[in-house]
């Protein structure tokens, strides 16, 4: 494994709990109730969400979904850092272009077993909600894009995959363990952080997306 990935490899295996502590200065555990939603950014028109696709299972309140998924909420309103990264076909993906949608930004790598384990659930979450005000983007920190392309093709992933081989965006987001997933609300603010893999296709995950796209 290339030496510049050592920190991430260690984080995958043993540093998830420590990473939570390191981020404690800017993130707090889920709140007791849903916080008030901030007003849209200047000049941003947030369209009404499309009707949710019907699904089986429980519908949780937003604060319950945060708790059940063990997603950390920010202690203060913070705008998510904008970024532009190339997709596998070299088309640029810019986060800001998706304001008006709730965005799940997932940092991962093909050499990270927990990352690969959660990808099928992410795909199912994406297929359920992609027709609503929802976007999912997976940021690969792999040094070799060919490995990323092979994995995506093998597992028929359809959500956007972007490449961050120098880990510049990962560093901007303070990523210290893989996988790490950031939730960005419809006006572009950070809404939550999940360190480590999650069951992204369970009732809590669907309810989380449904609550944040409203």
Give the predicted TM-score (pTM) of the model: 0.81
Enumerate the β-bridge partners of residue 87.
162
Digit-coded pLDDT (tens) for 79-118: 999 999 999 999 999 999 999 999 999 999 999 999 999 9
Q: How do residues 108-157 score in pLDDT, each as one tens digit?
A: 999 999 999 999 999 999 999 999 999 999 999 999 999 999 999 999 99
In this structure, is the dihedral angle defined by the CA atoms of residues 111, 112, 118 and 124, taken in order, positive or negative? negative
Query: Is residue 46's pLDDT more than 70?
Result: no
**E strand or H helix at 4, and its extent?**
none
Kindly tell me if the per-residue pLDDT of 38 is higher than 80: no
Pairing of strands 73-74, 27-28: antiparallel
Specify the pairing of strand 161-163 against strand 134-140.
parallel
Please choose, from the candidates 17, 160, 7, the residue with its C-alpha nearest in 3D space to the C-alpha of residue 91.
160
Q: Are 65 and 207 in contact (CB under 8 A)?
A: yes
pLDDT value for 93: 98
Contact 195, 19 (CB under 8 A): yes
Q: What is the CATH number of domain 3-28+52-75+91-212?
A: 3.40.30.10
Tell me: pLDDT of 8 over 50: no
Listed by start position, the domains of the chain span 3-28+52-75+91-212
Taking the alpha carbons of 19, 135, 94, 184 in that order, is the dihedral positive or negative?
negative
């Amino acid at each position: 494994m290339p030496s510049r990935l050592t920190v991430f490899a260690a984080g995958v295996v043993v540093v998830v709990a420590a990473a939570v502590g390191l981020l404690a200065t800017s993130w707090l555990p889920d709140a007791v109730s849903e916080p008030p939603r901030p007003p849209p950014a200047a000049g941003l028109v947030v369209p009404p969400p499309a009707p949710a696709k019907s699904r089986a299972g429980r519908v949780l309140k937003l604060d319950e979904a945060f708790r059940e998924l063990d997603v950390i909420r920010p202690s203060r309103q913070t705008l998510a850092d904008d970024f532009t990264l190339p997709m596998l076909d070299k088309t640029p993906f810019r986060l800001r272009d998706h304001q008006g949608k709730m965005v799940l930004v997932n940092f991962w790598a093909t050499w990270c077993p927990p990352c690969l384990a959660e990808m099928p659930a992410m795909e199912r979450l994406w297929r359920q909600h992609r027709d609503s005000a929802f976007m999912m983007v997976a940021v690969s920190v792999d040094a070799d894009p060919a490995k990323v392309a092979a994995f995506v093709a093998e597992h028929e992933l359809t959500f956007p995959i972007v490449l961050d081989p120098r880990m510049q965006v990962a560093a901007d987001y303070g990523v210290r363990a893989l996988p790490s997933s950031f939730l960005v609300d419809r006006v572009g603010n950070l809404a939550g952080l999940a360190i480590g893999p999650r069951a992204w296709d369970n009732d809590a995950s669907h309810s989380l997306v449904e609550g944040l796209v409203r």
